[in-house]
């Protein structure tokens, strides 16, 4: 018998490469995949990037590239902060270009760098309302009275805090409810939380100008977005049987007695 030969371990798989044209580094893209948890046949492609040409920062150009596409991840880069939002129903535009369209989406936020030491996913425990303007429309949501082009779960695109949306969609505002944020968020103070009505930014501030914005499309299965619904606890023992009642004997002295034991759903007889 020959002694068993040592087996050579397989070399580690090379890191996933970001989609062509993406601004994400290998590390940032790997962090995004770790949060999406895609299946083996899931593909990620880049549909839009604000820095790809001089016209790309306009809202019209964005819609030309991504309107009515689903399963989108909007990635925002601002200084050292890289973060974004995944939208199950994507960017759905209204039929009238002067109006906006509201619809329900499954959404989660993610931070790839800046506010957390590691890539972090911020789940929202219910479907949220997205509001997308037509090419000539605006959106205003709740107490947020300034105009923007798009609202997705706390993110406003083309928002400069005025009555008209910005011409450059990289002008943004964003904050996330503090009670949605996992532990490990860096840079917040109690005063800031109080002053900002319980919301915290994933970038450097609530209002900012992004260095770049890109939109990725995720085709295929990913991890569940909404947390699973709680299951109803099952009883450890069978419930007691219902009490039995005796059925009275028909009283044949009553002409209508044979019909007295009908159930409420027995409507086969009628009065003439």
Residues 80, 31, 88, CA angle at the centre, nearest 5°?
Answer: 100
pLDDT at residue 177 in the model: 87
How many Å apart are CA 106 and CA 24, to the nearest integer? 24
How many Å apart are CA 217 and CA 38, to the nearest integer? 12
Residue 267 pLDDT greater than 60, yes or no: no
pLDDT classification of 246: cutoffs 50, 70, 90:
very low
How many Å apart are CA 91 and CA 47, to the nearest integer? 12
Residue 272 pLDDT greater than 50, yes or no: no
Average pLDDT over residues 15-41: 89
pLDDT classification of 38: cutoffs 50, 70, 90:
confident
Average pLDDT over residues 209-218: 97
Ranges of beta strands (E only) in the chain are 43-49, 72-78, 81-87, 100-105, 107-113, 120-123, 128-133, 139-141, 144-148, 150-152, 155-157, 171-174, 176-177, 199-200, 207-209, 212-219
Residue 191, C-beta contacts closer than 8 angstroms, at least 6 positions apart: none
**Residue 66: enclosing H or E segment and its boundaries?**
helix 59-66
Query: Chain-wide mean pLDDT for the chain?
Result: 80
pLDDT at residue 228 in the model: 53
pLDDT digits (tens, 9 = 90+) for 83-126: 999 999 999 999 999 999 999 999 999 999 999 999 999 999 89
Report DSSP state, residue 223.
S
Average pLDDT over residues 234-255: 46
Residue 34 pLDDT greater than 80, yes or no: yes
Residue 5 pLDDT greater than 70, yes or no: no
User: Whole-model pTM?
Assistant: 0.75
pLDDT at residue 193 in the model: 53
Looking at 2-6, 24-28, 140-144, 228-232, which range is the least confident one?
Answer: 228-232
pLDDT at residue 262 in the model: 31
What is the three-class DSSP state of 252? coil
Q: Is residue 92 within 8 Å of residue 160, measured between CB atoms?
A: no
Cα→Cα distances 173→72, 104, 146, 155, 205, Å: 19, 21, 11, 6, 8
Looking at 124-128, 168-172, 259-263, which range is the least confident one?
Answer: 259-263
How many Å apart are CA 48 and CA 214, to the nearest integer? 5
Residue 179 pLDDT greater than 60, yes or no: yes
More confident residue, 27 or 142: 27
């Amino acid at each position: 018998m020959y002694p068993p030969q040592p087996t050579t371990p397989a070399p580690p798989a090379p890191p996933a490469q970001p989609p062509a044209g993406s601004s994400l580094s290998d590390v940032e893209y790997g962090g995004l995949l770790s949060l999406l948890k895609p299946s083996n046949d899931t593909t990620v492609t880049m549909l839009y990037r604000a820095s790809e040409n001089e016209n790309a920062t306009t809202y019209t150009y964005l819609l030309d590239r991504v309107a009515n596409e689903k399963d989108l991840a909007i990635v925002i880069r601002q200084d050292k902060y890289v973060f974004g939002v995944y939208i199950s129903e994507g960017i759905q535009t209204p039929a009238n270009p002067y109006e906006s369209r509201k619809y329900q989406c499954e959404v989660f936020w993610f931070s790839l760098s800046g506010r957390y030491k590691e890539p972090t996913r911020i789940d929202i425990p219910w479907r949220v309302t997205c509001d997308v303007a037509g090419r000539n429309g605006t959106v205003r949501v709740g107490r947020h009275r300034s105009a923007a082009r798009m609202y997705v779960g706390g993110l406003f695109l083309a928002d400069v805090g005025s009555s008209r949306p910005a011409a450059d969609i990289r002008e943004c505002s964003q904050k996330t409810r503090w009670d949605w944020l996992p532990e490990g968020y860096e840079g917040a103070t109690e005063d800031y939380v109080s002053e900002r009505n319980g919301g915290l930014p994933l970038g450097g501030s609530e209002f900012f100008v992004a260095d770049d914005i890109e939109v990725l499309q995720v085709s295929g299965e990913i991890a569940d977005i909404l947390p699973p619904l709680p299951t109803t606890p099952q009883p450890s023992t069978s419930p007691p049987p219902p009490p039995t009642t005796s059925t009275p004997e028909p009283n044949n002295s009553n002409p209508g007695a044979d019909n007295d034991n009908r159930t409420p759903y027995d409507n086969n007889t009628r009065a003439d």
